[in-house]
Structure 1
Amino acid sequence: MGLGIAASLLRDGARVTGFDPGEQRRDAFAALGGATVTSASAAAEGADIVVSVVVNAEQTEALLFGADGVAAHMASNAVFVSCATLAPAKARALARQLEASGRHYLDAPISGGAQRAAEGSLTVMASGSVAAFDRASPVLEAIAGKVYRLGDAAGQGAAFKMVNQLLAGVHIAAAAEAMAFAASEGLDLRAVYEVITASAGNSWMFENRVPHMIDGDYTSRSAVDIFVKDLGIVIDMGRANTFPVPLASAALQLFVMTSAAGMGRDDDASVARLYAHIAGLAMPGEPVVKTDRS
């Protein structure tokens, strides 16, 4: 998604310097006309806006304040746009630390995947000060189809994103269970997809992920381990607030089992493969594992 965001900014006419630990992605960005450097601090040197597209809170903190941290290299009144999914409490803590240096923090988790990032049509769930929004506005206009301003302090954007991730994780797990159930009944999976997407049982995740299952293509667009992380945050938030989240908990265990079965870096639709392996089902692209059901 970071490459797509950077490409959208270039297309909008911005001057963008990018860093990614992966040389292949740096080369891909350079091929688009972007400037690349070999460290995060070099990319942030004197920058008015730094956009961070990393996986989790630990990476965000390291990017800001670690050995190659960008915080000290940004312009004095710059804004850090944090697009990672992290716990609200962590977003607030990072914001306090950065804002103490006179810089701004925009809590701006994103939704839409790599395709919408490349199209500049992401959904951004953002919260932060008026100054943070004002400084970040050129980026938000370039990368997003919808920007929701959800509060004047970091943490609110993160909380909204966790509501989204609860639903997304449960919907993926439900879609995988439904398609494996259909396979166990010997149904034509393409016909199931056609019927359900025209019926009340449809969801955005069903419509988006089930084609991966039908094609037997588990090339990662969004990895299983992303939902191990994100639903884990949901569970932690629920426990901290003494709020039950039983559906999210059940979905988390499915993602954990799928990861434990060696599919953590594969597409999150791989939960369907877990069902296939357990039940000995013939799913596209998967060998049948015989089970004794007597």
Structure 2
Amino acid sequence: MSNSQTLAVIGLGSMGYGIAASLLRAGNTVYGFDVNEDAMRRFQAEGGVSGTLSEVAQKIDTLVVVVLNSAQTETVLFGDAGWVPALRQGATVIACATVAPSFARTMAAKCAALGIHYLDAPISGGAGKAAAGKLSVMASGAPEAFSGAQGALDGMAETVFRLGDAAGAGSAMKAVNQLLAGVHIAAMAEAVTFGMTQGVDPAQTVEVISKCAGTSWMFENRAPHIVDGDYTPHSSVDIWPKDLGIVLDIAREARFSAPLTAAALQQFMAASGSGLGKEDDAAVAKVYARNAGLTLPEAK
């Protein structure tokens, strides 16, 4: 393809792998990097290119960072083996982790000082949409960052929200999304298990509520996991203490009370503390079930 680019994706987890595969499918040359060498080998077997940072950094048009948190993002960009100092002038970083707006602004400033564009671009849609190249991206950054990122965004996203010309606005919007998503998952688990105390089968709850005003995207997506007794981690419990913790940190700085977020966070903390951290986040229902003496559906 005449408009193809040379890209690198850092982080080949459930989201990053889907993004890398989508970018590859769009006709780009894509390097994939992860601490999990099996993920790297799998990606290379599907057409990804192998190489080391020193070998490929000067070739990269856009670096897509899909890691867990701010600490990992900063390590990837500016750690002992950081990418930003090695990239060519004018390259673009797309940073996808959920982070505080202040952190995004700091990373943008550090990148700019080295002639690198930084797009604050947290993502939403889950692993399925990542694999399909249909993510929603909440992006903010200088016009040059959007311009440099456009080729990668075309391959990974269905919708790109342009939220401003400075980093931080994208992360602020992601915090709003994560507040709602985390609260909705906890509310879903509470509703399904509450129904069980009244003799309502979880499958029936899903059937009825999905067609009623009480539904939500998270209810319709996660409640079937409980019905199926399948807690394969599409999005794990342990994501939520991190993300809701970020929301509450931002709220604290703004002197804003967020009691629903705090209550949801406690349920995810309880789930993680019970050894459920690596399970699908619908497993927060197990906390409610345990406390109420309920037996959730088993895997079919």
Q: Are 1:108 and 1:125, in contact at CA under 8 Å, matched by a contact in 2?
A: yes
Which letter does structure 2 place at the counterpart of 1:52? V
- Point out where structure 1 has 5 or more consecutive residues left out of the alignment: 287-294
Matched, 1:120 2:133: yes
Q: How does 1:129-168 map to 2 (within 5 A)?
A: 129-168=142-181
Give, in angstroms, the shift of residue 191 of structure 1. Answer: 1.3
Which letter does structure 1 place at the counterpart of 2:253? A
Give, in angstroms, the shift of residue 31 of structure 1. Answer: 2.0
SS of 2:60 mapped into structure 1? coil
Cα RMSD for the two superposed structures: 1.2
Q: 1:124-179 CA deviation, whole Å, 9 max, x = no partner?
A: 00000000000110001111010000000100000000000000000000000001
1:75 alignment counterpart: 88
2:6 alignment counterpart: none
What TM-score does the superposition give when structure 1 sets the normalisation length? 0.94
The partner residue of 2:272 within 229, 246, 259 is 259
Pairs aligned (count): 285
Give, in angstroms, the shift of residue 24 of structure 1. Answer: 2.0
Q: Distance in 2 between matches of 1:116 and 1:141?
A: 14
Q: 1:221-265 CA deviation, whole Å, 9 max, x = no partner?
A: 111111100100111111111111010011011111111111112
Q: Are 1:108 and 1:126, in contact at CA under 8 Å, matched by a contact in 2?
A: yes
Which letter does structure 1 place at the counterpart of 2:108? A
Q: Are 1:40 and 1:63, in contact at CA under 8 Å, matched by a contact in 2?
A: no
Q: Distance in 1 between matches of 2:87 and 2:131?
A: 25
Which letter does structure 1 place at the counterpart of 2:231? Y
Q: Distance in 2 between matches of 1:210 and 1:148?
A: 28
The partner residue of 1:21 within 14, 31, 35 is 35
Which letter does structure 1 place at the counterpart of 2:296? M
- Point out where structure 2 has 5 or more consecutive residues left out of the alignment: 1-14
2:221 alignment counterpart: 208
Q: Distance in 2 between matches of 1:42 and 1:212?
A: 43
Q: How does 1:2-81 map to 2 (within 5 A)?
A: 2-37=16-51, 42=55, 44-81=57-94
Q: Distance in 2 between matches of 1:62 and 1:25?
A: 20
Q: Distance in 1 between matches of 2:167 and 2:137?
A: 14
Which letter does structure 1 place at the counterpart of 2:19? I
SS of 2:18 mapped into structure 1? helix
What TM-score does the superposition give when structure 2 sets the normalisation length? 0.92
Q: Are 1:107 and 1:157, in contact at CA under 8 Å, matched by a contact in 2?
A: yes
Q: Percent identity over the alignment?
A: 53
Q: Distance in 1 between matches of 2:158 and 2:193?
A: 34
Give, in angstroms, the shift of residue 23 of structure 1. Answer: 1.7
The partner residue of 1:233 within 227, 246, 251 is 246
SS of 1:36 mapped into structure 2? coil
SS of 2:158 mapped into structure 1? strand
SS of 2:283 mapped into structure 1? helix
SS of 1:276 mapped into structure 2? helix
Segments ≥4 residues shifted beyond 4 Å: 39-43
Give, in angstroms, the shift of residue 280 of structure 1. Answer: 1.2
Q: Distance in 2 between matches of 1:75 and 1:194?
A: 54
Matched, 1:169 2:151: no
